[in-house]
Amino acid sequence: MNEGDRRRLYRLALVFLLCGSIATGGCEGTDTREQVDDTVEEMAGKKDLERYRQMKDDIGEINTQQKERHRRLDEADE
């Protein structure tokens, strides 16, 4: 085995070692992953945006209900 073959063998072994560590490193607990994702979303503002959209939808629904109530009251007065 010459020097070039040895280098190729070391490189191949290094590639397999890195691929193996990456593959097994991804096998973390789902709870931990969810906490990390939740923290990242919170810091990125995604959670705030979701809350804003939910509040906007809720306010729209409340306005629709109020308009319907006022309409029914107006009809009852007539």
Number of helical (H) and strand (E) elements in the chain, helices listed first = 3, 0
pLDDT greater than 70 at residue 9 = yes
Distance between CA atoms of residues 29 and 39, nearest Å: 16
What is the percent of the chain where pLDDT is above 70? 86
User: What residues make up the domain containing 59?
Assistant: 3-75
Looking at the structure of the chain, the number of domains it has is: 1
Length reported for the chain:
78
Residue whose C-alpha is closest to residue 39's, from 31, 23, 12, 27: 31
Average pLDDT of the segment spanning 33-39? 81
Question: At 56, which amino acid appears?
Answer: K
Are the C-beta atoms of 47 and 41 separated by less than 8 Å? yes
Please indicate whether residue 42 or residue 61 has the higher confidence score (pLDDT).
61
Angle between helices 46-77 and 30-44 (to 10 degrees): 70
pLDDT of residue 40: 80
